[in-house]
Amino acid sequence: MAVIVVVGAQWGDEGKGKATDILGGKVDYVVKPNGGNNAGHTVVVGGEKYELKLLPAGVLSENATPVLGNGVVVNLQALFEEIDGLEARGANASRLKISANAHVVAPYHQVLDRVQERFLGKRAIGTTGRGIGPTYADKVSRVGIRMQDIFDESILRQKVESALAVKNQILVKMYNRKAIDPNEIVDYFLSYADRLEPMVIEAELELNKALAEGKSVLMEGGQATMLDVDHGTYPFVTSSNPTAGGACVGSGIGPTKITSSLGIIKAYTTRVGAGPFPTELFDKWGEFLQTTGGEVGVNTGRKRRCGWYDSVVARYASRVNGFTDLFVTKLDVLTGIGEIPICVAYDVDGKRFDEMPVNQSDFHHATPIYETMPAWDEDITGCTSFDELPAKARDYIHRLEELSDCRVSYIGVGPKRTQTIEIHDVMAS
C-alpha cells in the first residue's frame, strides 16, 4: 500500500501532470482531491501532448482508475467535453469515477465569477473565470449542489430554487444582470444525469477498501500551496485547499494513510493571475524564462509571470505540506544562462526575513536577497541519471535541497515522460 500526495509547491503549473503521469503507471487509483476545470495539467506521451483541465492526468495511465474526489467542483459540460476530446484521440476515460459528494459548478457560478471580478476592478484576483470561487462559496454556505442531487429531481429543484432566490437578487440588483430561470438550470443538470450515473460512486468507501486490500493511490492536487485559501497569498488564491492536508479532506483518505508527500517545484518560479511574487522578473531574464520555458497558461492562454527560485516559498511549502520528497522540474530551462540567482531570504524595508512573513503587507513589500550559483552549459535533456548531470547542475540541486528543507527525488530535464531522473522511488518509501 502506498498513498502518494502530489502537491504544487509554488503558484501552480509546476509540472504536477507530468509527475502524476510518471507515477500513475505504478498505482491503482489516481484521485483529484481539489479544484475543478481551473487547472491545466500537461502531459507529453510519445510525442502526443494532452492538456487536462478537470480530469486528473492519471486518466492517461492505462491501469489506474481516475477518481474525482469529494473536494472537487465539477463543471459537467466541461467534464464531458474533456472526456469526448480524449476519447476522440484514442485515450480511454471510461474508468473515471466521481464522488457522490463532489459539488457541481452551475452556469450561475460562472456568471458570478466574471461579474465579481469585473466589480473588483483593479483589485481583481485574475481568476480563470470558471466559477470556482462561487461554487466553493456555495459549498461552505451550505447552498451548493452535489453530484448525488442530480439523481433526485425534486431535491435538485428545491436546491436550485433556494440557491437562485438569493443569487438572482444579487445579479439583478447589484450587478444589473438578468435573473436566471431555475428551470433552465434544473434542465441543464438533468440533461447529464444518464451519462453521469454509472460514474458516481461512494469514493471514500471504494478508496479505503482498496487501501485495505493493499492497493496504491496517488492524489494529484490541482493548483498549489501558494494558491491555498488558508496557506497561500490570500486573497490572491484559489478557493480550495491544494495542500497535502486538503488532499485528505478532498478524498476521504485519512492522514495516517499517506506514505509520501511529494512537492512539485520548478527550478525557477512562475505565477498566473494577480498577487504578490517577490522574485518576479521584469527584465530580459523574465522574458527568457517565459519564452524558453514556454510559460503560457494552459487554461486561459495568459503568459505566466516568471522569476527565480524562491527558497523562502520552498521552505514554507515543505513545512505546511510535510514534504518527504521534491520533484524539481524544468532544470533544462536554466542551461547556459551563466549564473543562476536563488532567493534565500527577503528584505522588507531593511529587515531580513528568513521565513515567510506572516503579515501580508510585509510579503507585498518583500524584495529578494539572492545568492548565485554558476549554471552549466551542457545539454541535459538526455540525462537519465543524477550522475550524468554536469557537476554544476548537481551542485544547484544540492543547494536547492539544503535551502528547501527537503531531499530532491526526481528531476525533470524536458517535458516528455522519459525526460525524468529518478533518485529515490517514492513508491518504495
- Annotated binding-site residue numbers for Mg(2+): 13, 40
Distance CA 277, CA 281 (A): 9
Angle at 321 between CA 317 and CA 325, to 5 degrees: 85
Binds 227, which of ligand IMO, ligand GDP, Mg ion, none (CB < 5 to 8 A, cut-off by type)?
A: ligand IMO
Per the annotation, binding residues are: 12-18, 38-42, 128, 142, 223, 238, 298-304, 330-332, 412-414
String marking each residue 94-133 x if it binds ligand IMO according to CB under 6 A: -------------------------------xxxx-x-xx
SS3 221: coil
Which residues, 119 to 138, sit near ligand GDP by CB under 6 A? none
Catalytic residue, candidates 139, 159, 167, 231: 139
Residue 235: is the preceding peptide bond cis (ω within 30°)?
Answer: yes
Which residues, 13 to 32, sit near ligand GDP by CB under 6 A? 13-18
Q: Does 37 bind ligand IMO (CB under 6 A)?
A: no
User: Residue from 20, 38, 75, 135 that binds ligand IMO (CB under 6 A)?
Assistant: 38
Q: CB of residue 197 vs Mg ion: minimum separation in angstroms?
A: 30
Interface with ligand GDP (CB under 6 A), residue total: 23
User: Residue from 2, 4, 5, 8 that binds ligand IMO (CB under 6 A)?
Assistant: 8
Residues in the chain: 429
Q: Tell me, yes or no, if 159 is annotated catalytic.
A: no
Distance CA 18, CA 375 (A): 24
The three cell numbers of residue 340 are 543562476
- Which residues have a Cβ under 8 Å from the Cβ of 287 and sit 6 or more positions away? none
What are phi and psi for residue 67, nearest 5 degrees? -135, 135
Full DSSP string of 234-272: TTSS-SS--SHHHHHHTTT--GGG--EEEEEEESSEEE-
Q: Does 40 bind Mg ion (CB under 5 A)?
A: yes
Whether the CB-CB separation of 335 and 377 falls below 8 Å is answered with: yes
Full DSSP string of 104-160: E--HHHHHHHHHHHHHHGGG-----SSSHHHHHHHHHTT---BGGGGG-HHHHHHHH
Q: CB of residue 193 vs ligand GDP: minimum separation in angstroms?
A: 31
Q: CB of residue 258 vs ligand GDP: minimum separation in angstroms?
A: 20
Q: Does 330 bind ligand GDP (CB under 6 A)?
A: yes
Catalytic residue, candidates 21, 28, 32, 41: 41
Q: CB of residue 271 vs Mg ion: minimum separation in angstroms?
A: 11
User: Residue from 127, 329, 404, 409 that binds ligand GDP (CB under 6 A)?
Assistant: 329
Closer Cβ to ligand GDP, 14 or 149, answer by number: 14
Which residues, 208 to 227, sit near ligand GDP by CB under 6 A? none
User: Residue from 107, 126, 357, 415 that binds ligand GDP (CB under 6 A)?
Assistant: 415
| Chain position carrying cell 529587515 | 351
Q: Tell me, yes or no, if 139 is annotated catalytic.
A: yes
Q: Does 272 bind ligand IMO (CB under 6 A)?
A: yes
Distance CA 268, CA 2 (A): 30
The residues facing 146 across adjacent strands are 103
Residue positions annotated with a catalytic role: 13, 41, 139
Where on the chain is the footprint of Mg ion (CB under 5 A)? 13, 40
